[in-house]
Amino acid sequence: MSDTDPGGDIEELLDFLRDERGFDFTGYKRPSLGRRIAKRMHETRTNDAAGYRAYLERHPDEFVQLFNTILINVTSFFRDLPTWDYVQSEIVPRIIEARAPADAIRIWSTGCSTGEEPYTLAMIFAEALGEDELRRRVKIYATDVDDEALAVGRHAAYTAAQVEPVPQEFREKYFEPANGSFVFRVDLRRTVIFGRHDLVQDPPISRIDFLVSRNTLMYFDADTQRRILASFHFGLRDNGFLFLGKSEVLVARSPLFAAVDLKRRIFSKIPSAVRERVAVTVPETDDAIPATVRAIRDAGFEAGPVAQILLGPEGHLAAANLQARLLFGLSQRDIGVLLQDLEFSYRPIELRSKIEQAYEERHAVSLRDVEWHAGSEVRFVDIQIAPLVASTGEIVGASVTFDDVTRSRRLRQALHESKREVETAYEELQSTVEELETTNEELQSTNEELETTNEELQSTNEELETMNEELQSTNEELETINDELQQRTDELNEVNAFLESVLAGLDAGVVVLDKELRVQAWNGTASDLWGLRSDEVVGQHFLNLDIGLPTDKLRKPLRDALAGKTDGVLRLDAVNRRGRPIALDIRLAPLRLAGGGPLGAILMMEADTKR
């Protein structure tokens, strides 16, 4: 499967879409349709049309995605501005002129997408008629098959980028700013009626003065385009105009429309032809007509360039001019003979029934290109049978002419063939041009998607950058805090080292306790005395230590010290780490910060070496 070919049976998939969702894409051009479906298949990671169909069955949400992808909504205000200038100056005045001042003007924008085109129409008709007249007389039917696009149109709120193509003065006059967008004025918006309409399946809106169908027909194949054009012809008033998109010129060869300006794709409707009725009236017999005039008339009849036969009321041969006599081998003797007895009454065609028909309908019956096998040669004649009607209204006979058109028919056939060849070449060219245009619109739509993604990425990037800067600033703050902390730690270490060296330098054993009497500091002399290292006792309850000191005798003095009292020197008998009895002088002092309450107690123990 290539990027543009969905592979498998795309027709089956289209039938499935029609049966499941009532959306008939069978009249759409295959190359573009194939590319759009392939795009969805790529997104859904399915391999072929059958796989994609199975995906649709499992994920009904995908229908919306697919329809959004197929229905390309590319559009803009005043799209192709020079053409709109021409419409405004040349066509709109003609449309208004064709209607009486009180008459409604009906406009139809088909495939209107998100509403830019119908609002463009509203603006140029408001300019031509004035706003009051616009509200009173103009109805703009804005239709599409895409419900989401129609909802955007009804909402009529556009971004600054979307209203960019609107001329500045129109923007100020017809739009109101709201929440960062531009909203088409609500009082004029009532002129535009949005509705769902499928060009392939729904009948046309009728009595239309101006039908705008731009860049929509090009998505359909030639047959479907022809059918849609026929319905446009039906919907338009006889003096209505049709306005198509840049590459949509197929209509130029349609017998239903005449080009008003081919370059700008403006066409007028050719009203349905009226059939002409012809009967030949025989002048009143006028005996007063001079003989010379009658002779001229007879000679003129005789010399006529086409074979002509006159029949009387009873069906007998009344006259045959020279060409007729040569063609059918008639002579003067045949004058007065009944028609059925003459060969030309049944060859090249059975004439009597046609003569009866001409009498009954009282108008000429024409037969074109009647084939005539005259010996080995095949000839073609145009036959016209006209009843001859007297001034009294009475039918007095018939005139039958035989015009040999063999040569012109051959020429016509050759011309027809050349025309067909040119037409085929033209259709191929047209289809290529339309294909290019649809590819262009697809690219534009992809580009818009990419731009949105890019904008989203840019905004995410900006957010990331902001976060990055915030993080950087937090980081800098943390670094400062860290530096300060480091400095404090160094200071603390210094103080600790200082304290430790003070404690180590003392001869007495020093123990520092917190308020709960847990050991906070324990110097080297205390370790020598009791045989326990600092790391074994720090955090332990002092009174629970298993050392040779009768700690229960210290309970009260310690409580006094915590309360801020000092009891002087306390002498206690104890047993040192070697198991030898010693006498200890113990001093207790409260531990407190300057001006603060007690934090604990300091205990100094000195062995009496004199004993």
Per CB under 6 A, does 117 bind ligand SAM?
yes
Distance CA(103)–CA(73), nearest Å, equals 33
Per CB under 6 A, does 358 bind ligand SAM?
no
Distance CA(26)–CA(13), nearest Å, equals 10
Least gap, CB of 92 to ligand SAM (angstroms) = 18
Least gap, CB of 356 to ligand SAM (angstroms) = 50
Question: Which residues, numbered 218-257, are part of the site for ligand SAM (CB under 6 A)?
Answer: 219, 245
Per CB under 6 A, does 111 bind ligand SAM?
yes
Distance CA(496)–CA(488), nearest Å, equals 12
134, 166, 188, 199: residue in contact with ligand SAM (rule CB under 6 A): 199
Q: How many residues bind ligand SAM (CB under 6 A)?
A: 23
> How many CB atoms neighbour CB 141 within 10 A?
20
Q: Which two tokens stand for residue 576?
A: 């040192």
Least gap, CB of 429 to ligand SAM (angstroms) = 21
Per CB under 6 A, does 73 bind ligand SAM?
yes
Question: Which residues, numbered 132-161, are part of the site for ligand SAM (CB under 6 A)?
Answer: 144-146, 149
Distance CA(219)–CA(28), nearest Å, equals 6
| Residue for token pair 């006028």 | 286
69 or 540: CB nearest ligand SAM? 69
79 or 227: CB nearest ligand SAM? 79
- Relative to beta strand 377-389, strand 280-281 is parallel
142 or 405: CB nearest ligand SAM? 142
Distance CA(466)–CA(408), nearest Å, equals 84
Residues 6+ apart with CB under 8 A from 349: 367, 370, 383
Q: Which two tokens stand for residue 375?
A: 């010996």
| Residue for token pair 């599409």 | 144
Least gap, CB of 420 to ligand SAM (angstroms) = 29
**Of 29-37, 214-222, 390-398, 544-552: span binding ligand SAM (CB under 6 A):** 214-222
83, 215, 308, 345: residue in contact with ligand SAM (rule CB under 6 A): 215
Distance CA(605)–CA(611), nearest Å, equals 15
Per CB under 6 A, does 71 bind ligand SAM?
yes
SS3 475: helix
H-run or E-run covering 41: helix 30-44
Question: Which residues, numbered 405-444, are part of the site for ligand SAM (CB under 6 A)?
Answer: 441
32, 46, 83, 216: residue in contact with ligand SAM (rule CB under 6 A): 216
Least gap, CB of 186 to ligand SAM (angstroms) = 23
Angle between helices 62-70 and 49-58 (to 10 degrees): 130
78 or 380: CB nearest ligand SAM? 78
76 or 308: CB nearest ligand SAM? 76
Largest CA distance in the chain: 191
SS3 521: strand
Least gap, CB of 424 to ligand SAM (angstroms) = 26
Residues 6+ apart with CB under 8 A from 413: none
User: What are the residues binding ligand SAM (CB under 6 A)?
Assistant: 71-75, 79, 111-113, 117, 144-146, 149, 198-200, 214-216, 219, 245, 441
